[in-house]
Amino acid sequence: MKKTFLNLKTFAAIILTASLMTACSSEDDTVVTPEPDTEEPETEEPVEEDPRWITVAAAKMGEEPGDGNGGTLIYSVTSVDAKDPTVSIDPFENGFIAPSNRTARLQSSEDGNTIFNISYAGDTGGNYTKYTVEGGQVFTPSGSEVSIAPYVGTAPRWIKLFDGDQTGAAVYVSTENEFDENDNYARTEATIGVVTLDLVNSSIKEFQEHSVPLSAEEEAAGYYISRIDMPTLNATGDKLYIGARLSKVDPATAESDSDFEILGSKTIILDYPSLLNPSVITSTVGHGNTNGYRSINSFEYNGSVYQANQSDPEGSYILKIDADNEYDDTYDFNLDDALGIEGAYILAWRPSVNGKAVVAYRHNGSAEGVAGLQGFFALVDLNTKTAVKIDDIPYDPDFYLFQYQGFVVEGTEIYLTQGAVGQNGNIYVVETETGAVTKGAELVNTTGSHFIGVF
């Protein structure tokens, strides 16, 4: 049995306390009992975020089915409606015409509330405009217009950098054959121009031109940089990577040479934001071009930049550029090997936050459709270097993805459009964690036209 012992000091303290309590009681016999607190503690109500705008982009036929030269129309719905297969979207009938002589080059803000456009070719080529997305066909002009044509021409190749919707970057390259005093071919001079655009204030930030040579051996053989595109910031934001395509002339005649050895994939690197100090890095894993076409071709993920290549004799690779601004030639991710196909050609792609990406591609087994080779989608994992064809999306010989531009990433979900040239289709949403595919809103098409993505 536990016993409690009191020493003399403790006992005296108890007696004194009891005496004081008695004295207080004799002065006031009223005992005030506090009322119980009946109010419930305040709790913060969870804040529900408004659904994201999903803007569908559709390219209208010009003269030939699938050429997209008849202009670009856009129409926006909420992400809730985009996932609803009972919703019908008809951008060709009800959409907003994005200013452009040919297919517009569109970008969207990270939250989907703003659309950025630079008109491609024609009298308005190079004009930058931005719009607030209001839903449906309502896109309200925001800010002022600015032309980048004086810097990079009326048909610019541009992209929005991933810096919080602050900056766009546009590029061009011009070439000129050089000859020695005996009129023998010496090399081809490639001059690149790069301009950065303040997307917030609609103003030019920086412009630089550079001569970008290859190695003396490569230039003597007639190689030169003939096209550049898809500027991408590295993780620390102090370097700009620009994808490049190589072409070649026959040194004996200075005429174009189309049958030549494909060199290792190359990327031009500039200091950022100054756009100075150009250099060229070369991959020993992938061969072919890194400039892409209509869609963003490289993305920063987990401290490195991952870049697709095209026209590789072994099929497209996804290449890796590390924080040291050099290719990681230990990273070997070949789409032919991953999918068990031949001649894979990455047309467009986009990773989600977990390093899993949706890739639009064609291959040697693609059917010849009305506008070109049939396209497919695959789910790839940058971490495990694996890929699987997404079979829950319907395919058609006329499903043409060469001009595909935009995916929307929302967490681990990726939105895309499906629809053969001249046929109705749907929005599809891929949950990259599980591979589950949701069939969303119907996309209503028109003769010879096609859908080029969501923003």
| Domains of the chain, first to last | 53-454 (2.130.10)
Backbone angles phi, psi at 10, to 5 degrees: -65, -45
Q: Kindly indicate the confidence band of residue 42, based on its pLDDT and cuts at 50, 70 and 90.
A: low
Residue ranges with strand state E in 343-412: 345-351, 356-362, 376-381, 386-389, 408-410
Quick one: which of 167, 136, 315 has its CA closest to 232? 167
> According to the model, what pLDDT value does residue 417 have?
98
> According to the model, what pLDDT value does residue 13 have?
41
Q: Kindly indicate the confidence band of residue 20, based on its pLDDT and cuts at 50, 70 and 90.
A: very low
Write the CA distances from 280 to 214, 266, 364, integer angstroms.
Answer: 8, 7, 31
Tens digit of each residue's pLDDT (9 = 90 or more) over 114-141: 999 999 988 889 999 999 999 999 999 9
> According to the model, what pLDDT value does residue 44 have?
60
Q: Kindly indicate the confidence band of residue 349, based on its pLDDT and cuts at 50, 70 and 90.
A: very high
> According to the model, what pLDDT value does residue 2 have?
37
Question: How far is the first Cα of the chain from the last one, in angstroms, to the nearest whole number?
Answer: 77
Residue ranges with strand state E in 22-78: 53-59, 72-78
Interatomic CA distance for residues 64 and 432, integer angstroms: 35
Backbone angles phi, psi at 376, to 5 degrees: -140, 170
With residue 143 as reference, give the H or E element that holds it: none
What is the pLDDT averaged over residues 364-383?
98
Interatomic CA distance for residues 351 and 232, integer angstroms: 14
Three-state SS for 220?
A: helix
Quick one: which of 358, 302, 359 has its CA closest to 331? 302
Read off the tokens for 67.
């050429």
> According to the model, what pLDDT value does residue 39 have?
54
Please give the model's pTM, rounded to 2 decimal places.
0.89
Interatomic CA distance for residues 357 and 382, integer angstroms: 8
Tokens 């990327």 map to which residue? 267
Whether the per-residue pLDDT at 14 is higher than 90: the answer is no
> According to the model, what pLDDT value does residue 35 have?
52
Whether the per-residue pLDDT at 17 is higher than 70: the answer is no
